[in-house]
């Protein structure tokens, strides 16, 4: 389905992409307020926001029994355990981004920083139309033709999938 504009909805201004992916609308963020980061809530704070091993360890520390790392790629999605949803982690040299999938619609969504909006679609540059991010086009957007899509994360690289138990878990910054 193509759209004429960015589609989004409000999810509060206290949570970034990581908190949103983990289902935590109000992360503990300290003073002054900071972005939620993998590992802070679980006592394994990430030192380098682009280090994949530290990020994975941080997510697993934060979620404990409520999260598991899954094998798979955007072109060969993993099976998600019952009562859980799928989360994708992307990275660049100095940053991370998380997206989560709605298990009923199979659409992916994300937040940009602590802004209130959850995004649901990206601009497909060759057609000049917005498209939903779903299982059918996830590999195209994240791997095969990521330069054809206009969004803040087209220069990031897909790294990992996680399954998070419905209801999520608390994160911090």
**H or E element: which one contains 64?**
none
Residue-wise pLDDT tens digits, 4-34: 788 888 888 888 999 999 999 989 876 656 6
Burial (0-12, 13-18, 19+ Cβ within 10 Å), 170: middle
Under the banding of pLDDT at 50, 70 and 90, the label for residue 48 is confident
Under the banding of pLDDT at 50, 70 and 90, the label for residue 168 is very high
Mean pLDDT of the chain: 92
Q: How far apart are the first and last CA of the chain?
A: 36
Under the banding of pLDDT at 50, 70 and 90, the label for residue 3 is low
Check residue 8 and give its pLDDT. Answer: 85
The residue assigned the tokens 């704070």 is 45
Query: For the residues 117-141, what does the mean pLDDT come to?
Result: 95
Distance, CA of 108 to CA of 138 (rounded, Å) = 9
Query: 140 or 115: whose pLDDT is higher?
Result: 140
Check residue 73 and give its pLDDT. Answer: 98
Query: For the residues 35-58, what does the mean pLDDT come to?
Result: 92
- Report which listed range, 46-55, 122-131, 157-166, is most confident: 157-166
Considering only 3-17, 41-55, 91-105, which range has the smallest mean pLDDT? 3-17
Residue-wise pLDDT tens digits, 133-150: 999 999 999 999 999 999
* pTM of the complete model: 0.94
- In 3D space, the residue among 134, 111, 133 whose CA is nearest the CA of residue 121 turns out to be 133
Query: For the residues 67-83, what does the mean pLDDT come to?
Result: 98
Burial (0-12, 13-18, 19+ Cβ within 10 Å), 141: buried
CB 110 within 8 A of CB 100: yes
């Amino acid at each position: 389905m193509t759209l004429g504009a960015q589609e989004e909805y409000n999810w509060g201004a206290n949570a970034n992409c990581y908190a949103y992916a983990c289902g935590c609308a109000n992360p503990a963020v300290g003073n002054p307020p900071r972005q939620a980061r993998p590992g802070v809530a679980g006592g394994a704070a990430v030192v380098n926001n682009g280090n994949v091993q530290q990020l994975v360890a941080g997510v697993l520390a934060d979620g404990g029994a409520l999260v598991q790392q899954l094998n798979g790629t955007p072109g060969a999605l993993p099976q998600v355990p019952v009562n859980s949803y799928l989360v994708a982690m992307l990275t660049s040299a100095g940053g991370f981004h998380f997206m989560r999938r709605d298990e009923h619609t199979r659409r992916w969504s994300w937040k940009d920083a602590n802004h209130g909006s959850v995004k649901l679609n990206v601009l497909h540059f060759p057609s000049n139309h917005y498209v939903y991010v779903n299982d059918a086009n996830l590999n195209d957007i994240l791997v095969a033709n990521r330069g054809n899509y206009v969004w803040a994360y087209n220069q990031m690289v897909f790294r990992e999938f996680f399954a998070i138990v419905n209801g999520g878990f608390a994160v911090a910054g």
